[in-house]
Structure 1
Amino acid sequence: MHFLVAESEPADARRRRRDSVGRSSGETFVDVVTALVPGATCHRITPADADSVLPGRAGLRDYDAVLLTGSPLHAYDDTPEVRRELAFMRAVFGSRTPAFGSCAGLQIAVMAAGGTVRAMGSRREAGFARRITATAAGAAHPLLRGRPPAWDAPAIHSDEVAELPAGATLLATNGVTRVQAAEIRHDGGLFWGVQYHPEISLCEVAAALRRDADDIVAHGLAQTEADVEATAALVDGLHGDPRRRDLAWRLGLDAQAIDADRRRTELGNFLGHVARRSVPSLLSGACG
């Protein structure tokens, strides 16, 4: 199978992320997708970059699916980087190639299809989105197959979907961010997306906390950057040994966030959906 990973991060954000965890958001997606789909090939592109050569609608049809990563870009900003991202996503919809996105990937898809995104103001989700619940539509949707009635997931964001576009379905929500998961049908295309990050490891969660420590303190989620570091250290410890019940208790996490397979549920479900369209036997039991 052939997948296209569209890295939403601009070049400076890719460098900062590589400095902290050794890989960019797109490289994380490539690693996870190839682990979930043995033998798959992934091509990585950077639509925000001015010199990036991007496939058009015809070229996009050569892929089984497109995956959009997170990014510090604000989808509502009228900048060259965002305009390139939106133009690419509109081409993805028009190509009718199935697509999945997390965090800013969801926000770009929403904007490209005619919805709106806004800054969260004083609210934040930093580290983990808590008590996510499926809507009635989401409970029956294959994206959330295997999730319990409520779950936590890695998340760190300062923007959110304000209004879903026409042709979209709200699939999951929580008390902080109304749109936690959604399906978008637009211009013949299909997109499944989540505001959280099923693709990242606990180590990457800890690194994100450290990168955003000043913002976390500024918005009252921690008193000092040392407090952020203390939490990041707990997350790092749980990454090193997921059996540490003491760390899970202190962080208030269960297997939905700790266990890698369960953490990747939505991404695995999407890849399984795509695989069944192409190769019915592939990924038949990837997620549970």
Structure 2
Amino acid sequence: MAWTDNLPAVRGKLLLNEPLGPYTWFRVGGAADALFIPADADDLADFLKALPESVPVTVIGVGSNLIVRDGGVEGVVIRLAGRAWGQVTADGDTVTAGAGALDSMVARASAKAGIAGLEFYAGIPGSIGGALTMNAGCYGSETKDVLVSAWGLNRRGERVELSLADFGYTYRHSNAPADIIWIEATYRGTPDAPEAVAARIQEITERREKTQPIREKTGGSTFKNPDGHSSWKLVDDAGWRGKLHAVTGGGAKFSELHSNFMINPGEATAADIEGLGEAVRADVLEKTGVQLNWEIRRIGRK
């Protein structure tokens, strides 16, 4: 009997052989063996406790910085989506946000509450769970600058609480246990006039719209910035801006607007997109001796 024939009962949605492309910004990729969208934290905890430990578990958010490979994803993919996961509240100088809350929603909620420091989240096209995992940041600020603590569930469904120091954050990296599924985070900012915070958020939003291909099928920043270098410039100088690259489909390319953003012009496969990234990494390394490291997460079978 296959493990999918004996899955735990849930209150949320549990879908077998569910295509994951529609859940990502690139709109490519294969199916999950099973996709679980839990109703709430208790539903998720009960599911994890009952799920055999031999079944792999992968967590995705809004899919803004993700490539799902064409062969699909083994085991259970968990997606935290819906009202239960996106609550944002403010109290004094602190903001508490569910892992499924969009980063931009958290920025706007902080502005409404007159809390400064979280404006940079308006420039990150993801959700809080991903921000916690990778120390997301932009325009000179990072998650580590405002995070107080967060809690989540480990693979056994047990609650785990971490303070900022426990994350061991460095640039786009966390030392927190990789199996934690984040549920909620608490941030601390500084008091400021709501209109002043909102104005800075508006500036970030306008800057992003002018410099990034946000209306394309993209995955955000492709590569981390190497020490002393800008990834976009390395890609640009190597001649890859706007150059179509195909492996198995219609091809992918780096945006003409921002050469650290890959886009799917329409008929790309996951192999096209990941293949483009790997081709650029190899070319930049050969030409400059600089190693580009992925910022986009890649999951699944090739």
TM-score by length of 2: 0.32
Is the radius of gyration larger for structure 1 or structure 2? 2
TM-score by length of 1: 0.33
Greater strand share, structure number: 2
